[in-house]
Structure formats: structure tokens, C-alpha cells
Structure 1
Amino acid sequence: MNARLSSDTRMARSWFQPTPDSLWNRFREKPRLRVASLFNLVWTVYVFGDLVFAQKLNPHWWLATLMAFPAFLAIYAISYIRPIRQAPWFAAAVALLAYSIMGINASGGACFMIYACAIMGFEGSPKRCYTGMGFVIGGFALAGTFIYTWPPSILATISFIALSVGSINVIYRFNAQRDAELKLSHDEVRRLAAMAERERIGRDLHDLLGHTLSLITLKLELSRRLIDRDTDAARREMEEAESVARHALAEVRSAVTGIRATGLAGELASARLLLNASMVQFDYVSNLPELPERLEAGLALILREAVTNIHRHARASSAEARVEVKGGELTLCIADNGSGGVSAEGNGICGMRERVRALGGTLAFESERGKGTRVRIVVPLTAADRRLAPTTEPGTLGLETRPTS
């Protein structure tokens, strides 16, 4: 007997624990959505609307309401912690609760019917969701018309509200699903790009070191054989092996530097991917000039920091980047139309200033409240730099920055 009671207790506890495929667990990494799901219960205040709007309460109003309201709260909570595929059944239970109470508590019945349509939008294809909402609203309209003789205008208004709330859940869910699929595709693209880069690095290192190491091995073997017979020849072979090794080391360092350095064009493409995923329209120049190696990596890191700040803090809807090479200066300008109003420079801006200072340039930072933020970097070019980056007229390489109002 005790064993069976213990088993029943465990089963009851497991019923009230969120399952892995529940809506509550889907919001595990989005605490704000969990808070929103609880905040949505604020609309249950309309269950008690008859206390304000009804001229006379049904004699059984309090009894019916005090029985139905806790039942609804329990069904609503269970719909979030049980498998999401069971949502239509919980919606049907709430709809039955609405039908049973609407003759006694009119506002409570209407409120429960709206919640039933909202829960119906939790799961399934749009066709399935709208079919379920149609049955819920149809049953409510039939009961209100032929059993309780409600006015058609009231039924139409409540039905429209219920359909709108259910549609919002359907649209939101499919937008979230689309965003998740987009994120997966981005992750797959990055994975394939990383794999291709690893294969390229492997091929480059093999081509770079394979012949060189074979040559060093051959010369060392030859010097070992000559060391007892011809010391001078053995020394020459070892010196040549040392020279080849030093040359190989320089080539490896150059290759690694090239691997570590991020091109400005590649960083601009990554910035667009990041900001567009955050619903920020990002425009940038695509026909960049050939930049000196000393500027390429530094400007790419500065751009990355600026774009990260836009993504995290700006609350912008659009942003853009402009690159100009004019005379003896290279200008990089990043602007957004976000909230602005940044008075104190944090670690991000300070880090950007240090990088610009290391390049010998200057950074101007403007952030007026309500008018977005603008970062302008100017780096002087040396004679060697100007040979690589030809002079261009303003606007031919970049986008003209729009007012960030």
C-alpha cells in the first residue's frame, strides 16, 4: 500500500513539473517570455467584469465564478508545463469552461473563450490552429445565440477579439520558428566556412612545410655523414639547414598572421549578418579599395566593436558604414539611428580609441539623445599606404550617411 502511495505521489509531482518539450522549457533561455506568460493573466480581471457592468448578478454567480476561476488557472498553468502538442486539448477544456459559465457569468465566459483561442495558437500548423479557433468561436456563438440569446453585436465583438489574440500567437510562434531556422542556417554556414578554412590552412601548411622540412632533414643527414670526413662541408650544410629553417619560420609566422587577421570586407559582411538577425537594416560599401595590411586588421576590429555596441545597446532600426580614402587620409564612419544619449565612454569606446591611436589616427564620437550615434575614424596614410589605396572622390566608395534622426 505504501509503495503504491509513493508511486502515485511521484506521478502527481511529475505531472506538475515542466516537461522537456513544454512551452515553459522553450522559454528557458528567454526569461522575459516567461514573465510575459505570467503577465498575460492580468486580463483575467475581466472574469469579474459583471461586478461592474451587469445590472443584476445571477444568484449562482459567486459559486460558479469561484469554482471556474481556479479551474481555469490550473488548466492555464498545465498548458505551459505539459508537452506543447497537448495544447489543443487544454484549449478545448478552457472552451468548455467558457460554455458552462457564460450563462451565469457573461464576462467570465467571454474571457475564458478568448484565452481558449490564445492557447489554441500555441501549437500546430496555421490551418490546424485556425480550425480549432473556428470550432471554439463557433461553439461560443451558437451557445450565445440559441441558448443565452446574446446580442449579435456582442458575440461578433468578442469573436473578433478572440480570433485576433489567437492570430497573434500563431504569427509570433511562426516568426520565432523562422528566426530559429535562420539562426541554424547561419550556424551551418559558419560551420562550413570554418571547415573550409581549416582544410585550406592544412593544405597551405602542408605545401609550406612539407618541402622545407624534407630539405632540412636531407641536409642534416648529409652533414652527419660529412662531419667526420669534411668538417667544413658539414658546417656549410648545417648553416644552410639553419637558413632554410629560419626562412620557413618566417613564412609560417606570415601565414599565421594572415590567418588571424580579419579582413574589413569580411567583417562588414559579418556585421550585416549580425544586425539583420537583430532586425537592424545595415548598409555598407562593397567595393572597398585595397588597404594596407597594417590598417586592415585594426579597422576590422574597430568595426566589430562598433557593430557590437549597436547590436547590444543602440535600439536602432538601421545603421550604415562608410569608407573613404581621400588625399592622405582614410575615413571609416559608422552611424545608427538608435536612442543615442551615451555620455560616458565605456570599455568598448575606450578600446576603439586605443586601437585608433595605435594606427596613428583619431576617433570622433557623437551620441545625441534620440538622434543615434556616430563614430568617425580618420587614419593618416603613409606614402607606401597611398600606393596601395588610390585616392577616390567622396561618396564613390561609401554610402552617404543619412541623418540619424
Structure 2
Amino acid sequence: MMQRILALLSPNRPWLHLVYLGFFFFAWLYQPPGWDEVVIGLVAMAGFVSLYIFSLRRCDWTVYPVALGAALLGLAFMPVTIGGGVYLVFAAAMLGWLPHSRARTVGLVAVALAILAAGWLTQQPLPYAAVLLILAAIAAGGAAMGARRRRQEADGEARQRRASDRAAEAERQRIARDLHDLLGHTLSVVTLKADLASRLFDAEPQRARSELAEIQSISRTALAEVREAVAGLRDRSLESATAEARQHLEAAGLAVSVELEADPATAEQSTALAMVVREAATNILRHAEARHVTIRTASLDGGIELSIGDDGRGGARTGSGGLGGLAARIEALSGWMLVGAVSPGTGTQVQAWLPGRGGGDHA
């Protein structure tokens, strides 16, 4: 909830610029208007605000007629109050939110000419028109920069979603292939042996029991292989999992730094840490909205420490899902795993530690 509120209050949000409409009332401070002027001014402003928010929520061709309306409001109110020029500044800002095009350039030039014409027709001093031109230029430039940043962020999020979807689809296909390869032959053998044991049950009970024992052994082996296939552990090491995670993250547009300065003591440890890397990378792709990821290992207290950090929005916790299961697996190997913020309110860091050969519990 707090993140949504902060997002709504971000200075990049165009509706926050409506606070500058307060300049419209500046002249009223030293020259109080009549009731008719107050009513007309407030009604016009309310209509403009409604159209402004509507058009900027869409950010399409509707911005042009609303910007034209804003410019006309400015031209209409400037002979009455110098604060009416704020509408011309808003017209420039609204055009700035649009992608660069000839139409936008023509619109901005038209706003500048309207400011000069209004200043001349209302016999305002030259500095007044100059100030309006400067404010309009600043508003248009700032809006253009903000719009470009928002489009870049949207493109980055879209790339991350596509990369996450591709990674998920690749994982589903891998599991399907592994299960087919593992179970096709195994289930065929189990079926044949079960049929054979059924036929031999009365005539040769000893041989039937032998076949049943083999079925039990094959089933246990198949179960272990299926678990490995589903968990993605077959022929996986920390190094290969890191390389795969780096590939997926970079494909999503993230910068990845890898520093593998220490190696696991056993294959089981390598498998466990590989799972941590894969789960952390998946969470970063799906949820973090990060730009940079660091994966490193280092020697610590006679063991190996793995750290995966990102500069995303943070908020990840161990919980009872994938990270919770991995924490239990790491603890079963006499290690520990922590999930927390890189710094207060930003990013997430996943740390896991496992002892070296002959190492015990870490205090």
C-alpha cells in the first residue's frame, strides 16, 4: 500500500503538476475579482482539470484538443488576469508528454506564438511574456524527459516480463522432456514386471516376490529421479546455475555482476546453492523491477557464503514458498539462509552459508 501511495505521489505523475494552477489566482491577491469572475474562473478550471487528467491517462491524440483548449483558456483569461497565462504553460507541458513528432513541434511553436501574441494584445510588459516563454519551455522539457523515462521504464518492465515468461516456458518444456525420458522407460519396465509377477504369483511365488522387489527398487529410483527433474537438479552445479541465471537476467535487460571466489565443498552443497541462485533469479525477474544484480561467493568462517543482491523495489521475505523450502534445505546441510533488504527500503539480498569439509554448525 505504501509503495502505491509513493508511486502516486511521484513527481513524474503529471496530475501533480496541477498544483501550479494556483498561479491563476495570483492577481486576485491584490485585485479581488467580482463574483461572476470567480464563478467563471472556477468552472473553467474544473473543466480543464477533468479533461487534463482524462487525456494524460490515455496520452494519445486527445492531448492535442485538450492542449488547444488550455491555450484558448489562456488567451481568454489573460486580458482579465495575468494568472491566465498559466494555461498556456500547461498547454506546452501537455504537448511535452507526447512522443516526438512534427505535430508536437508545430503545437509547441504555436503555443510560443500564442504567448507572444497574447502579451502584445493585452499590452503586458515584455518581461512578462519572456517569463511565460521560459516557464513553457521548462514545462515542456521537463514533461518530455519524464515521459521518456516512463516509456523506458515501461519497456524495461515489458522486457522483464517477456524474459520471465520465456524462462517459465523453457522450464516447463524441460520438465516435460525430463519426465518423458525418465518415466517412459521406467513405467514400461514396471508394467511388464507387474504382469510377470501376477502370472508367476501362484506357480513360482519366490520368483514373483523377486519381481516385486525389483519393482519396488525401480519405483524408488524413479521417484528420486522425478523429484530431481521437477526441481531442476539433474546435472546442475552452482557454476552452471549461475551462468543460466546470468543469461536469463541479461536477456531481460539487467546488468549482472558475477564473482565466484569460492567453491562448494560437496556436490550436494553445489546443488543446494544452485537452487538458491535459480529461485532468487526467478523472483528478481518476476517481482523485483531491478536494474542490477550481483551474484558472488566468498569464503566465510571455514565455509562458503553465497550472496544474490538486486537494486529493485525490495520486500522479499523467506515465507513458506520457494525461498522457505530452500532455507529448510540449507539448514538441513548445517547452514543458514537470510533474505532481507540491501539497504533500508531498497533492493533484496539473499544470503546462504554452508560449512566446508569437516565443518559443523555455524554460530
| TM-score normalised by length of structure 2 | 0.70
2:146 corresponds to 1:172: yes
> Conserved in 2, the CA contact under 8 Å of 1:88 and 1:123?
no
The corresponding residue for 1:91 is 67
Pairing partner for 2:40 from 60, 67, 74: 67
In the superposition, relative to structure 1, how do residues 50 and 355 fare at CA in structure 2: closer, same or farther (>3 Å)? farther
CA displacement, residues 310-346 of structure 1 (integer Å, 9 cap, x when unaligned): x98xxx99875542247942134577999xxxxxxx9
The unaligned stretches of length 5 or more in structure 1 are 1-26, 339-345, 385-405
The corresponding residue for 1:24 is none
Task: Give, as a single letter, the amino acid of the residue that structure 1 aligns with 2:53.
Answer: Y
> Conserved in 2, the CA contact under 8 Å of 1:336 and 1:374?
yes
CA displacement, residues 153-179 of structure 1 (integer Å, 9 cap, x when unaligned): 432221121122122223222322222
Q: How does 1:332-343 map to 2 (within 5 A)?
A: 332=306
SS at match of 2:62: helix
Report the aligned-residue RMSD.
4.8
Q: Write the distance in 2 (CA, Å) between the matches of 1:210 and 1:356.
A: 32
SS at match of 1:160: helix
In the superposition, relative to structure 1, how do residues 378 and 34 fare at CA in structure 2: closer, same or farther (>3 Å)? closer
Q: Write the distance in 2 (CA, Å) between the matches of 1:98 and 1:37.
A: 19
The corresponding residue for 1:143 is 118
> Conserved in 2, the CA contact under 8 Å of 1:282 and 1:319?
yes
Pairing partner for 1:42 from 1, 7, 19: 19
CA displacement, residues 48-101 of structure 1 (integer Å, 9 cap, x when unaligned): 22245x7xx5x9787546423430231221232355431211111111111122
Q: Write the distance in 2 (CA, Å) between the matches of 1:131 and 1:241.
A: 80
> Conserved in 1, the CA contact under 8 Å of 2:295 and 2:306?
yes
2:86 corresponds to 1:111: yes
Q: Write the distance in 2 (CA, Å) between the matches of 1:128 and 1:118.
A: 15
SS at match of 2:259: coil
Q: Write the distance in 1 (CA, Å) between the matches of 2:177 and 2:348.
A: 44
Q: Write the distance in 1 (CA, Å) between the matches of 2:35 and 2:187.
A: 90
In the superposition, relative to structure 1, how do residues 115 and 188 fare at CA in structure 2: closer, same or farther (>3 Å)? same
Task: Give, as a single letter, the amino acid of the residue that structure 1 aligns with 2:65.
Answer: W
Q: Write the distance in 1 (CA, Å) between the matches of 2:227 and 2:348.
A: 38
Higher mean Cα deviation, 65-74 or 134-143? 65-74
Q: Write the distance in 2 (CA, Å) between the matches of 1:347 and 1:234.
A: 49
> Conserved in 2, the CA contact under 8 Å of 1:98 and 1:110?
yes
Higher mean Cα deviation, 181-190 or 122-131? 122-131
In the superposition, relative to structure 1, how do residues 355 and 227 fare at CA in structure 2: closer, same or farther (>3 Å)? closer
2:187 corresponds to 1:210: no
In the superposition, relative to structure 1, how do residues 368 and 220 fare at CA in structure 2: closer, same or farther (>3 Å)? closer
> Conserved in 2, the CA contact under 8 Å of 1:323 and 1:331?
yes
- The alpha-carbon deviation at position 135 of structure 1 amounts to 0.8
SS at match of 1:323: strand
Q: Which runs of 4+ in 1 moved over 6 A?
A: 59-62, 270-277, 316-319, 334-338, 351-356, 362-370, 372-377
SS at match of 1:144: helix
CA displacement, residues 30-56 of structure 1 (integer Å, 9 cap, x when unaligned): 54369955543322221122245x7xx
In the superposition, relative to structure 1, how do residues 218 and 324 fare at CA in structure 2: closer, same or farther (>3 Å)? same
The corresponding residue for 2:169 is 195
> Conserved in 1, the CA contact under 8 Å of 2:97 and 2:146?
no
> Conserved in 1, the CA contact under 8 Å of 2:12 and 2:146?
no
The corresponding residue for 1:101 is 77
In the superposition, relative to structure 1, how do residues 355 and 97 fare at CA in structure 2: closer, same or farther (>3 Å)? same
SS at match of 1:135: helix
Task: Give, as a single letter, the amino acid of the residue that structure 1 aligns with 2:200.
Answer: L
User: What is the identity percentage for the equivalent residue pairs of Structure 1 and Structure 2?
Assistant: 26
Q: How does 1:228-247 map to 2 (within 5 A)?
A: 228-247=202-221
SS at match of 2:79: coil
> Conserved in 2, the CA contact under 8 Å of 1:267 and 1:304?
no
Q: Write the distance in 2 (CA, Å) between the matches of 1:233 and 1:359.
A: 41
In the superposition, relative to structure 1, how do residues 152 and 259 fare at CA in structure 2: closer, same or farther (>3 Å)? farther
The unaligned stretches of length 5 or more in structure 2 are none
- The alpha-carbon deviation at position 276 of structure 1 amounts to 7.7
Higher mean Cα deviation, 87-96 or 248-257? 248-257
Higher mean Cα deviation, 76-85 or 183-192? 76-85
In the superposition, relative to structure 1, how do residues 262 and 175 fare at CA in structure 2: closer, same or farther (>3 Å)? farther
> Conserved in 2, the CA contact under 8 Å of 1:219 and 1:238?
yes
The corresponding residue for 1:258 is 232
The corresponding residue for 1:360 is 334
Task: Give, as a single letter, the amino acid of the residue that structure 1 aligns with 2:298.
Answer: E
CA displacement, residues 156-209 of structure 1 (integer Å, 9 cap, x when unaligned): 221121122122223222322222222222212221222122112111111111
Q: Write the distance in 1 (CA, Å) between the matches of 2:14 and 2:54.
A: 12
The corresponding residue for 2:132 is 158
SS at match of 1:49: helix
SS at match of 1:149: coil
- The alpha-carbon deviation at position 217 of structure 1 amounts to 1.3
Matched residue count: 334
Task: Give, as a single letter, the amino acid of the residue that structure 2 aligns with 1:382.
Answer: R
